[in-house]
Amino acid sequence: MRPEILFPLFSPITSLKGVGDRVAPLLERVAGPLVRDVALLPPQGLVRRPVMATEAAVEGETPTFDVIIGAHLKPARPGQPWRIQAIDRTGAVTLVYFKGFGAHLEERHPVGSRRLVSGKVERERQGGGLQIVHPDFIADPQRAEEIPVSEAVYPATAGLASRAVRRFVLTALSRVPELPEWLDPAWLAQRRWPTWRDAIVGLHSPLTDADLNPAAPHRQRLAYDELLAHQLALGLRKRLTRREAAPAIGRGQLATAVQDSLPYRLTDAQARALGQIRDDLGSGRRMTRLLQGDVGAGKTVVAMLAMVEAVDAGFQAVLMAPTEILARQHFDVLEPALAAHGMKTALLTGRVKGVAREKLLATLAGGETQVVIGTHALFQDGVTFNALGLTVIDEQHRFGVVERGRLRAKGETAHLLAMSATPIPRTLELTLYGDVDVSNLDEKPPGRTPVATRAAPMHRLDEVVGRMRAAVATGAQAFWICPLVSESDLVDLAAAEARFEALKAIFGDRVGLVHGRLPAAEKDLVMTRFVAGDLAVLVATTVVEVGVDVPAASIMVIEQAERFGLAQLHQLRGRVGRGAARSSCVLLYDPPLSQVATQRLDILRQTDDGFLIAEKDLELRGGGDPLGLAQSGFPAYRIADPMAHRDLIRVAADDARLVLLRDPEFISERGRALVVLRELFDWRADGVLSEGS
């Protein structure tokens, strides 16, 4: 039950003065449906209004002038603006108003009156004088306090201006109560942070740009509060999950036999991860584990051995891949290995239809098929299992709550293992995966061919094509990734088609093209031909899944590589070097390069450690979007920035872990205060904001 002290903050926004039926949906779009949402809406900028003479004004700034109204210039014809000439001792400024404000303005600000005027300064056309279009403020000097020296700028939307949002924020701020302190006093003193309410006031009272910085004490305090609330929710989620009963799957002889038959030994990292998975499977509690590894680290074989353990214990196992071609690839690798030890494996995708589908579903429901590999078709209503014991998701870039929920509907007591091929910086793991256990494959199997990475300017493109032509003549295959030109699929597609035509003139029909607008069946056909070796060169945009295993592909060309993120370049590079042939990655760039772009390409040439690259990408991008994580399941934080506040994430996680260990029922004085914190941010136990939050 929500603590009574929070009731004012959880009132609807319609309880704020001025928020009626017209304004409410607009304010909800900007902030949210509750008074709390408005109070926690951070300003995005700052407008300073220093008082100055007109001669000192700089175009684009927002000063305040102390002027005398000199004349009202009425429009000569309809549609023209009303102009007011105002002067001070150093010069003049014209105030411009549209939409027929004239008569009212002349009455309120008569000629000869003294006024304080503030707004964005512009220059009239053709080198004219200063003007302010629709001043923000025009007030009698006796009411100078109405013009703030500095003013926070808030998000706006059509029909609701930033200043109106600011007014509602200040009204919501007046509803914010003093809350019990939930932070450890020693930690609070060490960081020199304000109280929670003072931090909220500071958030909305910036005086300088430094006050808008994530490193400002009041922002750090609020960010830590939010991170702590999130980590407590994730910790509670993990505790609940670990209480869920699941079949105890012990280590059997079949998995040992399969492992012994492998033509290679597991790496130490693989053995460690497999041991952690086996401990989970045998615990009698439901496993929810993420197997995170760099490209080529050997995640699939670890997952296969875990599935064999489930089969050996009398259960079924399922592996879901994000695309049909990847599902087929997994099937081609796993089916022979499992069949050699008497296990029946099936492939279920959207293409399996009619009698074949009905037969496959019958063998699943009857338990004859022990392992099934497929796409999202596995979630369809007609798919039932006889005894599902383990589900593996190869999502590569995302491990979400939605998928976990859908899987539970298929196997109420099934263990869950997810695989991610995008290494996440260890400083951010806790934000994304705080409610699951994580196993990291931080080494690669021996014999993996290093990829020689080189950078070259675009004017050497013909030279690169010439070398690729020579390599293709010896049987090599190549990926050619086209530049990310813009946010438009159509523009990117045009660039890809132009490169395709240019390469087709050289390589003929042995060039294929895949892009996001290609129908799935056509895309799969092109990819299948490339995998089979019918195509020598595959031209692709990055909106396409190119994570297929093509051992003969030994060349990766990335055009205008400076446009891509560091981790994205690393993932693309991982598509080659999977066979015995020496492989290379060429990063074509348009000079001159920025300092950050130069550093990015240098790092890629120096290392192939995906975790190190992810950390470096984080450092280079700062508060940007490393690895595309904004689209990859980051929680919807209000104040906290997972990049800027990453040093606080681990501290918050440790703090939450200690609280749940020492005071699991939240009965101490601090525990009761932490209940208020949890309810304030309203995180659900699954680690996401509740609906309407």
3-state secondary structure 199-249: HHHHHCCCCCHHHHCCCCHHHHHHHHHHHHHHHHHHHHHHHHHHHCECCCC
Domains and CATH numbers, the chain: 4-46+155-212 (no CATH), 50-147 (2.40.50.140), 285-441 (3.40.50.300), 451-607 (3.40.50.300)
Orientation of helix 426-433 relative to helix 217-243, angle to 10°: 60
Q: Smallest Cα–Cα separation from 311: which of 379, 374, 369?
A: 369
Q: Which residue intervals of 109-178 are DSSP H helices?
A: 162-173
**pLDDT surpasses 90 at 484:** no
Please name the amino acid found at residue 486: S
Higher per-residue pLDDT: 82 or 382: 82
| Alpha-carbon torsion angle 339, 269, 243, 402, nearest 10 | -70
CA–CA separation, 504 vs 537, rounded Å? 9
The string of pLDDT tens digits covering residues 156-186 is 999 999 999 999 999 999 999 999 999 999 9
**From residue 71, how far is each of 43, 102, 265 by CA, in Å?**
37, 12, 89
pLDDT at 574: 85
* Cis amide bond preceding 148, omega within 30: no
Higher per-residue pLDDT: 581 or 62: 62
- Phi, psi (deg, nearest 5) at residue 97: -130, 135
| Alpha-carbon torsion angle 660, 663, 665, 668, nearest 10 | -140
Q: Smallest Cα–Cα separation from 649: which of 227, 220, 233?
A: 227
Q: Is-contact 561 480, C-beta < 8 A? A: no
pLDDT at 127: 67
Higher per-residue pLDDT: 641 or 125: 641
Q: Give kind and range of the element (H or E) at residue 38.
A: helix 35-39
411 alpha carbon, distance to own chain's centre: 29
The string of pLDDT tens digits covering residues 613-666 is 877 877 776 534 433 444 344 567 899 988 788 889 989 999 999 999 999 999
CA–CA separation, 7 vs 262, rounded Å? 62
**pLDDT surpasses 70 at 677:** yes
Higher per-residue pLDDT: 314 or 252: 314
Residue partners of 675: CB distance under 8 A and separation at least 6: 3, 666
Q: Is-contact 41 31, C-beta < 8 A? A: yes
The string of pLDDT tens digits covering residues 531-562 is 889 999 999 886 555 556 788 889 999 998 98
**pLDDT surpasses 60 at 686:** no
Query: For residue 592, what pLDDT band results from cuts at 50, 70 and 90?
Result: very high
261, HSE (Cβ side, Cα atoms, 13 Å)? 14
Higher per-residue pLDDT: 54 or 322: 54
Average pLDDT over residues 120-147: 90
Query: For residue 307, what pLDDT band results from cuts at 50, 70 and 90?
Result: very high
Residue partners of 627: CB distance under 8 A and separation at least 6: 422, 424, 565, 567, 568, 614, 617
Number of other CB atoms surrounding residue 100 within 10 Å: 12
pLDDT at 655: 95
Query: For residue 409, what pLDDT band results from cuts at 50, 70 and 90?
Result: low
**pLDDT surpasses 90 at 65:** yes
Tokens of 641: 């920035």
**pLDDT surpasses 80 at 187:** yes
Q: Which residue intervals of 367-450 are DSSP H helices?
A: 401-408, 426-433
- Phi, psi (deg, nearest 5) at residue 501: -65, -40
Query: For residue 381, what pLDDT band results from cuts at 50, 70 and 90?
Result: confident
pLDDT at 688: 43
Q: Is-contact 394 320, C-beta < 8 A? A: yes
Specify the pairing of strand 553-558 against strand 477-481.
parallel
**From residue 233, how far is each of 182, 228, 229, 236, 434 by CA, in Å?**
15, 9, 6, 5, 9
**pLDDT surpasses 90 at 447:** no
36, HSE (Cβ side, Cα atoms, 13 Å)? 17
The string of pLDDT tens digits covering residues 33-58 is 999 999 999 999 999 999 999 999 99
CA angle 243, 247, 249 (to 5 degrees): 120
